[in-house]
Each structure stands twice: as C-alpha cells, then as structure tokens.
Chain A
Amino acid sequence: MSLTELSIAEARAGLDRKSFSAVELAQAHLDAIAALNPRLNAFILPTPERALADARAADDRIARGAARPLEGIPLGIKDLFCTRGVRSTAGSRILGNFVPPYESTVTANLFRDGAVMLGKTNLDEFAMGSSNMTSAYGGVENPWQRKGDAATRLVPGGSSGGSAAAVAARLCLGATATDTGGSIRQPAAFCGIAGIKPTYGRCSRWGIVAFASSLDQAGPMARSVRDNAILLGSMAGFDPKDSTSAERPVPDFAAACDQPMKGLRIGVPKEYRVPGMSAEIEALWQQGMAWLREQGAEIREISLPHTKYALPTYYIVAPAEASSNLARYDGVRYGLRVIEPGDSLDEMYERTRGEGFGAEVRRRILIGTYVLSAGYYDAYYLKAQKVRALIARDFERAFADVDAILTPTAPSAAFGMGEKMDDPVTMYLNDVFTVTANLAGLPGLSVPAGLSAEGLPLGLQVVGRAFDEETVFAVGAAIERAAGFTARPVLRAGG
C-alpha cells in the first residue's frame, strides 16, 4: 500500500518494523504536497527541510529503540498555531512575516512525542469562516468533486479547511485544527474525514492565535476515529500557562474506541430537525441511529429547547471577544504596518488594520465593537451570555438521561467556491449543529458516515459530556465501523 494511504497506527507499526523509514514516509507526503498543493492550496507554507530534519531525527530514535508515541508521523499544522522559527500567519495579511519566537503548547506536545511537521495549513483568516474563502492566502479546494462535475470546485469548509483538505487528499496523515463554532467538525464532514473538538480546557490555548477565547479549542483531524484519538492523546493535557486549561489526567482515548455500545443511551435532539435540512441528511441521521441501535445502544429523543438561539448567541459572543483579541494587531510590535508620510499614530492604526484585515474579519470586529459599546453591552453581550447559560443547561439536563448525543454535523454537503458568499448570515448557518458544543464547552466529533446523492461526503456528529471524550470516541468508532466509509476524493496523492 502507498505510504500516503496509511493510518497513523499503521504508519507507527511500519516504522517500528522498519518496513519504511520516517524519511521515506515524510518524502512520500512532501511529494504529494508538491504535486497537489499548487491546485488545492491546502498548505500556506510547506516546510520540507524541517520535515526531513524531523524525520531523520525520528529514524535515529527508532534505530536506537527510543521511538516515542508519534515518532515519524508527518502532520500538517494549522497556521493558527505559533511555531517557533516558522512564519505563522493566521491566514491574515496583518501578521506579515511574523516568526514566533515560541512554540504553541499543543504543537510542542506533538513534537515532544516525535511528530514530523510537513508545513502550515491554510485556514479562514483568524479562523473566521466556514468555507476557507476568507484566507488572505487564497481559498482551499476540496479534494472531493460532485459526481460528473469536475468543473465546479468545492470548498473544504472552514476554518480548518487547509487541514481537512490536506488530510483528505493524503498530503499528511493527520493535522492540527481549531474549532470555535464548528471549524474542525464542519470541514471534516465536507472532506470525508474525522475530527474532534475536545472539551473546552482539554487542550491548551497557549500559543494559538486567539479568535474567541471562551470558545476556541484545538483538536486533531485524521482519516479515522482512532487516529484522532491517538493525536488528541498527545495534544491534550494540563498547561499552567493557560488559566482555562483543565487540571485533569489525559485518558487513553485510543482504548476508548473499542468500548461496546451495549447499554449506552444516545440522545437525538428533536430541535435539530431544522427547516430546510435536506432529506438525505435526515436519512443519514436515521441510518446513524439504526447503526448504534444495532450495536446495542438505546436511542432516546431529547429536547434542547434553546438550540435555535445558539447561532445568534455565537455571533454576539465570538465577534465581541474577537474585536478585543484582535486589537493587538496594530503595527507596533510585529506584523504588518501600513503608514503614509505624516500619519499620526491613530492614522497608522487605522490604515494598518483597515488594509491588514480582510472583509469578514473587519465585519466581525465591527459587530463585536458595536455589541460591546456603551449602551449596548446589556442588550447584546450580557443577553447572549445568559442565553448561553440556558444552552449549557439544556445539555446538562439532557445528559442526565443520555450518555452521548447524535446529530448531523452540517446541514449540507460541501458547496461550491463562491456560493453562499453574498449573505453572511447564510454562510453562518453552516455551523448550526456544531456551534452549540462550543457554547456549552462540550466535546464534539464528526465522523464520515456516507455520501450524498452527488457523491459528496456527509458527516455525523457525536456530542458528549464535558471531559467524556472517551464515550464520544466509542460512539464515533461504532458509527465508523458500521458505515464502512471507504470512498476517497478525486484529488488525492496517487489518485
């Protein structure tokens, strides 16, 4: 089998057996990037020299019998993670040629465990988007195509669109990603791979460019549920440098993938049958319930009454926090500075920020500034945080009766580049099923479960109790087993 088709577990086994070297494994992926990235634009910055150096070091350790859990595993790193000595852009012009003098905790954990960095993957600017079309480095193409329609280029979803496309197209074995309103799960669903947003606090936010601090969580993307479990096991863990990091041990997520469904109670929220949801998504959801029932789980209808308010709540909280988080990009200490002769400090700020941020980021900064401004705080931000409390309470009540919740990941399959672009609100609706888990801080996993009539991947989402990723992985793995999803995208390494 081609080295780019391996799972992480298979690759680890092959490396240890010396069936191939880490350098060979890295080179196979670098070749794939060289071949496909010009079209897909999944990587903003491939780092081949770094990858080969990492791989050589991995081969040394393997030879010495000192392999670590991810020794030699080539990964894509979302360009929202600060990587020491490697330009980090957040998909924005405003960071200019910013080269972080530090390594994010999550990537440091992965490298501590032996992972190889292939490069920095593309994303929506500052992770704001559901299409990857807002990146200052250009859109990413979804490696999947509609059946019989090679002409229409599809979006990979967002904001972790580069990571999703890279994993799906076999440019890497796995990737890091972040999820503020669905940015791991929606692109995973659009690209036919798996991705998990863990519980808020499970992964350190230190060194990840902030979008909305109370919602941002890092997580992995990979082609199988188990590979996600392996990667998350390395990424997660308490970090004293992040005040919101949870002081909890990291369970054996991979082992959880084998837990049986028997006796589990799976909730299906009636409010997720949203108007306009396609029949095939509804059918897939029913299919998911049937698969779990067949494996011994009990399906229960539950109610999450404040579901419909989740998106508007999100679009107050996230822009408000973002407007403040992005104030530091001012052209003074790092990044882009745009200045004309005679400019005052304020003119320099306005020019730098006006030109450095793209349209969607500017839009959200303005919304966030407005909802926090004098006289509106109570009506918008405070109100939203109260509704958020009600949304969290809905989940708490539901989890008194069920062990996990099953929903579709997104209301549609991947759409074409340029579609849904005129109206921001239409674009925002992509996150209708995913955003609730961010607001409540809960873990959510998207698993590829089937294909649409057009031949595009569709995902199912499993949401769990706070810090119960184990059950989420177990249910996700059960769906994965039943679905037997083996379809592969048109654009892929060796494809």
Chain B
Amino acid sequence: MSLDAATVRRIASLARLRVPEDQLPRLGQELNAILGWIEQLNEVNTGGVEPLTGSAALAMRMREDVVNDGAQPEAVLSNAPERIDAFYAVPKVVE
C-alpha cells in the first residue's frame, strides 16, 4: 500500500491536521517508509489468534451509581481559550 498526496490529504483532514500543500509529498514518503516497514507483520501467521488489547485483567470493575463529581463550572471552564458566560464558545456551526 502506498500513500499518494490525495490520501495524505484525506487522512490529514480526517485527523483535523492542517498540512501545507507543499509538505504533502514528503510526508507521504515518510509515511510510506513507515508503513512499508510495518508490513513485515504480514509474514506472521495469526490464524486463530485472539487479539490482545492490554491489561491482563479479565473483567471490568464497575462504579456505584453515586453523584460525586461535577458541580464545578469554574474549574471546568477556567482553562477555556474562549468562553461566553458559562459556555465554551466556538465559531458558529452552520448545520
């Protein structure tokens, strides 16, 4: 598989990363090199293997249904780049 400029552009847009047009080819090459190297995994026979996802624990603990958080609008908003009253503010979204 190889990444052309159009694919890099699509992936960058999916990831909401602005990539200047003139950097697309170089970035494509870099990503291709990494993907090419990664593809050695195809040598491994993984038939019948269950994917591993991390922790060794088998079952997830559950919390009790108790309200013990929230009620801290200032703490939640204090780092906001822009706020209006008790809201975060972003450029108007037109649906």
Q: Which of A's residues lie within 8 Å of B, judged by CB?
A: 96, 98-99, 101, 200-201, 213-215, 240, 243-244, 246-247, 306, 308-309, 312-313, 315-316, 323, 327, 330-337, 339, 343-351, 353-355, 357, 362-363, 365-367, 369-370, 373, 376, 380, 382-390, 392, 423-425, 439, 441, 466
Contact = CB atoms under 8 A, between A and B. Distances in A.
Interface string B66-91: 00000010011011111000001011
Contacts of B53: 214, 385
Interface string B1-27: 101000110011111111100000001
Nearest to B93: A345
B41 A333 contact: no
Nearest to B62: A243
Given A96-B81, A386-B51, 16 more contacts: A214-B53, A244-B57, A309-B43, A315-B34, A327-B16, A333-B76, A337-B82, A348-B90, A366-B8, A366-B27, A385-B52, A386-B49, A388-B51, A389-B49, A389-B51, A424-B33
B85 to A, nearest CB: 15
Contacts of B58: none
Contacts, number: 163
Contact of B15 (A96, A316, A369): A369
B33 A309 contact: no
B14 A373 contact: yes
Contacts of B13: 350
Contacts of A344: 91, 93
Nearest to B19: A354
A367 B80 contact: no
B55 A244 contact: yes
Given A351-B18, A353-B18, A370-B31, A335 B79 contact: yes
Interface string B23-42: 00001001101110111111
A354 B35 CA distance: 22
Contacts of B31: 363, 366-367, 370
Given A335-B79, A380-B38, A366 B17 contact: yes
B82 to A, nearest CB: 7
B52 A388 contact: yes
Given A313-B41, A351-B18, A382 B51 contact: yes
A439 B80 CA distance: 36
**Ranked 8 nearest A-B pairs via Cβ:** A354-B18, A214-B54, A385-B51, A334-B79, A337-B81, A386-B46, A389-B52, A349-B16
B81 to A, nearest CB: 4
Contacts of B3: 370
A332 B82 CA distance: 7
B1 to A, nearest CB: 8
A366 B15 contact: yes
Contacts of A382: 51
A316 B46 CA distance: 16
